[in-house]
Amino acid sequence: MQPFEGVRIIDLTHVLAGPFATYQLAVFGAEVIKIEMPHDPDQARLLGADKELATKKLNTYFLAQGSNKRSMTVDLKTEAGRDILRKLVKQADIMVENYRPGAMKALGLGYEDMAKINPRVIYASMSAFGQDGPRGTQTGYDPNIQAASGLMAATGTPETSPLRNGTSAIDYASGTMGSFALATALFQRERSGKGQYIDMAMLDVALVLMGTHISGYLRNGWHPKPIGNKVEVSTNCLYDASDGPIQLAASNLRQQKRLWKALGRSDMAKNTHDERRADYDREVATLAEIMKTRTAAEWEAFLQTNHVPATRIWKMSETLADEQLRTRAIIHKFIGAPGIDGPFGVPLAAFKLAHGGAAIRTPPPQFGEHNDEVLSEIGYSAAEIAGLRADKVIGERP
């Protein structure tokens, strides 16, 4: 049995953060019903690496977090559409949305409205800045939050900063924190019997990621600076090997001693972090010269054998081809799926369980694929479904 088996989630989220939160529960057994507007598909369906799949509303941004979900297209601006949602929520454990703060409440679909229908429901709102406060009505995406949190100002070098992270880090961190918030509320409901409202802001998540910088600033007014790959101890820096860069990460005192010993320079090893900082420039110059004497791959193999953290810069193709991934079962590969010709793969979850672990049961759904199926389950007849489709309350079959 998977951890969230039997949990039903109504997912009204779009793009990355919200869909990733529900996806994480879906791969651990939750039933997720994804609801989109019939004429306004989730933007993620159109974004990614495959232009042909974009025309089918199944592009790679969506594939990465669409598995194990069923898809409905319901116009929530109609009363009939709102009735569908109310009936779904009545039988649900969780509802998640990430529309502009106040939008769901204005439609009569806010937490108070849903709690009257189902007092046990856990209702989560994910937004850029939160549901209240002077910025509560503002919208924003990952890059806006990277800018507002100080993350961009602390990234890059003095010459290149501010610099955006190479992936949608805040989106995925918000999705991860979102799944934790939902699991926390579920656990509490098991004890209290009560549902509740979750107000989650991407800015808050970003500030948690900036924790050490925040503590430093609040203690002594120290602003985080963009230092690039040259950090405060030399054995944690990026260096040029003979054919490309090598990232050292001999962070603690034991590791730096092992590094210097392996390099035949035990005379450079230090007993305190203050000694390391004081001799920083000499250490950097020494390591820069030594690292040029071998290839990055040779250094990686040699130093790892000596229990020194060191890694060359891998390309995506190298990462995914590495034998280590065969032991982790983090990638699920599809031979094909409805609407998709040919193979593709998606990540699952970042941890393994001894039993009941992450698994893919169904492929990412086509736009509105499960309208008839889900509506039948909650009591709509075939004639009523046909009427909803004729009135454009639900979308056409894919």
Which positions ≥6 away from 358 have C-beta within 8 Å? 27, 28, 348, 349, 352
Rounded to whole angstroms, the Cα distance separating 111 from 103 reads 12
Helix (H, G, I), strand (E, B) or coil at 216: helix
Residues with a catalytic annotation lie at 171
The residues, ordered by sequence, that sit 6+ positions from 70 with a Cβ below 8 Å of its Cβ are 31, 32, 33, 34, 362, 365, 369, 370, 373, 374
Residue 50 DSSP symbol: -
| Gap between the Cα atoms of 194 and 213, Å rounded | 37
Show the tokens assigned to 26.
């879906």
> Which parts of the chain fold into alpha helices (H)?
17-26, 51-55, 60-63, 79-90, 103-106, 111-117, 142-149, 169-192, 202-209, 211-220, 253-262, 273-278, 280-291, 296-305, 316-321, 324-328, 371-377, 382-390
> What's the rounded Cα separation, in Å, for the pair 363 and 345?
10
Question: Whose structure tokens read 């999705």?
Answer: 175
Beta-strand relationship, 69-73 and 94-97: unpaired
CA end-to-end distance (rounded Å), the chain: 32
